[in-house]
Structure 1
Amino acid sequence: MKTFCRSLHGLALGTLLIAGQLVTVQGQTEAQKANANRTLSVGYILFPGFEPLDVFGPLEMIFSMSYYMNMTLATIAETVGPVSARPPLHYMAPNEPPMDLSYMINPQVVATHTFETAPKLDILLVPGGTGNVALEQKNDTKVEDFVRERYPELEYLLSVCTGAITLARSGVLEGRRATSNKGAWAQTATHGKNVTWVPSARWVVDGNVWTSSGVAAGMDMAYAFLRELYGDSPLNTLMSNVEYAPHTDASWDPFSVVHNVPGANKTRSLVDCVGPAGFTE
């Protein structure tokens, strides 16, 4: 039988007081201590046809952390109100009829701000989804324009899945390393000027820009990101509460092999065993 030893973390390491009061945790860096004692403004971009888990996966972790850490959230779209995840009409190839996926269910997220009314942001997250394909086919650049305009004031910019296409089209990825959904690699890697697209990566960090591989990889990136912001506590406890075991090796990427991405690392096992955050075998 395997046994797991819990590494020291959580409330036993220090003091966590909610609602803006002093937070101190043993082992935090000075930057992490500062983050724990300020309010971070988080923005999430929405567009018709966003990929649900690109939004909800990282948002679950951010939401859970907001129990301890002061944060604000703005959901941002072209107009205020419900934004549907159902894919809009788009073309898979030239000279083919448009894909009509209107028979799919219609989950929605309410946008609280428009691109014009969004508050000052510290962190901006950009999801992927077939919706950004539709936007590109219509030459609609509102999302990229917003990213380009706001990037200079951001502390961090994150994309999940094909959200990296938006970052590339905005020009933010020029001269940077990045990754994206491996199932859409052939399409994604054609975007951007002077972008080093990393074929085997669960997520990539280049300066203050974080990009993840496809869909579920956004949760692993979000864990690594929040760990950088705040340290292990109370993050690892929260991961156990939501019963999610994050992959912590950014270079582990079996889906680059599954999807035959050129340059993929085929020397590693496609199977990876992970355990609860903060535990070692």
Structure 2
Amino acid sequence: MAGNSTEPRHYAVLLFEGFQALDVFGPLDALNITSLDNGIRLSIIAPTLNPVSTKPPPLPIVNLKPGWGFSESVVPTHSYDDPPTNIDVLIVPGGLGTSHCANIEPTVKLARKLYPEVKYLFSICTGSKVLAEAGLLDGKKATTNKKRYEETTRPYPQVQWQRSARWVIDGNIWTSSGISAGTDAMLAFIGMVYGREYAKAIAKRMEYRWVEDPTDDPFAAPEPSS
């Protein structure tokens, strides 16, 4: 597929201990397939150059059974201290690691630093907490994981949180609902860049039933009882 100079070329993902695997790998797999036809590249940014695990560190509200060790690790390409330049799309996943602000404080600081330089900011699941903590969602519409909706949104009343949305676009910021919704949102992003039919072809190659309507949210957070 022929590209043009306005298409995003450089994608980067911010990782932290306890990120949710599908938040990252769902959208990235759609981009993996997209990369077969287009000149795009990926940077993986983590606190250090050591492998970063989906297993969260000890956190006050995360109770793991003794001996729990089922996790995956990813090798980063860059550290927070030396991030890449010329990022077009910055991807921020969620996961149990977002449960405590101290764990994601370095991620919050880097997201805040990098945002003015990127073309698009894209969060999945509770990755929106990182953006909200950074002040990047102030006054904007956004969504998050509906299972953890109340605990994620309550500290940030300045954000226009959407209870029923598979994903939300406000300016150059995309926020998606929980976990699998990130793949739907990324396919929509691919459709914006390369066309809807191309995005549908990517979904077909993935054998994935793409939810194309961002308002189609079977997991919508109920309104609080009065």
TM over 0.5: yes
Instruction: Select which of 92, 98, 119 maps to 1:126.
Output: 92
CA distance in 1, matches of 2:78, 2:95: 20
CA distance in 2, matches of 1:70, 1:118: 21
Q: Spell out, residue by residue over 1:149-186, the C-alpha distance to the aligned partner (whole angstroms, 9 max, x if none).
A: 01001100000000000000000001100000011011
Cα–Cα, structure 1 residues 251 and 233, in superposed 2: closer, same or farther, change >3 Å? Answer: closer
Q: Spell out, residue by residue over 1:128-168, the C-alpha distance to the aligned partner (whole angstroms, 9 max, x if none).
A: 0011113x1x3651101001001001100000000000000
Q: Secondary structure at the match of 1:64?
A: helix
The one-letter code of the counterpart of 1:41 is: H
Instruction: Identify the range of structure 1 (189-198 vs 71-80) with the bigger mean alpha-carbon deviation.
Output: 189-198
Structure 2 counterpart of 1:209? 173
Shift of residue 106, structure 1, vs aligned partner: 1.9
Query: Percent of counterpart pairs with the same letter?
Result: 37
CA distance in 2, matches of 1:55, 1:175: 26
Instruction: Select which of 68, 77, 81 maps to 1:103.
Output: 68
The one-letter code of the counterpart of 1:117 is: D
Does the alignment pair 1:172 with 2:136? yes
Q: Spell out, residue by residue over 1:197-238, the C-alpha distance to the aligned partner (whole angstroms, 9 max, x if none).
A: 011000000000000000001111011111111113533222
TM-score by length of 2: 0.92
Q: Retained in 1: the 8 A contact 2:141–2:168?
A: yes
Structure 2 counterpart of 1:48? 17
Does the alignment pair 1:86 with 2:55? yes
The one-letter code of the counterpart of 1:205 is: I
Shift of residue 50, structure 1, vs aligned partner: 0.3
Shift of residue 41, structure 1, vs aligned partner: 0.9
CA distance in 2, matches of 1:243, 1:86: 28
The one-letter code of the counterpart of 1:126 is: V
The one-letter code of the counterpart of 1:76 is: I
Q: Which runs of 5+ in 1 are unaligned?
A: 1-15, 17-22, 25-32, 93-97, 264-281
Instruction: Select which of 204, 208, 218 maps to 1:254.
Output: 218
Over aligned residues, Cα RMSD in angstroms? Answer: 1.9
Q: Retained in 1: the 8 A contact 2:97–2:103?
A: no
Q: Secondary structure at the match of 2:52?
A: strand
Instruction: Select which of 160, 185, 191 maps to 2:124.
Output: 160
CA distance in 2, matches of 1:64, 1:185: 31
Shift of residue 89, structure 1, vs aligned partner: 1.4
Structure 2 counterpart of 1:270? none
Instruction: Identify the range of structure 1 (105-114 vs 230-239) with the bigger mean alpha-carbon deviation.
Output: 230-239
Cα–Cα, structure 1 residues 80 and 178, in superposed 2: closer, same or farther, change >3 Å? Answer: same
Q: Spell out, residue by residue over 1:81-120, the C-alpha distance to the aligned partner (whole angstroms, 9 max, x if none).
A: 211101221122xxxxx62355141211111101121112
CA distance in 2, matches of 1:224, 1:241: 15
Cα–Cα, structure 1 residues 228 and 262, in superposed 2: closer, same or farther, change >3 Å? Answer: farther
Instruction: Identify the range of structure 1 (42-51 vs 112-121) with the bigger mean alpha-carbon deviation.
Output: 112-121
Does the alignment pair 1:148 with 2:117? no
Q: Retained in 2: the 8 A contact 1:81–1:112?
A: no
Cα–Cα, structure 1 residues 208 and 214, in superposed 2: closer, same or farther, change >3 Å? Answer: same
How many residue pairs are counted as aligned between the two chains?
223
Instruction: Select which of 39, 44, 53 maps to 1:70.
Output: 39
CA distance in 1, matches of 2:130, 2:80: 15
CA distance in 2, matches of 1:70, 1:142: 30
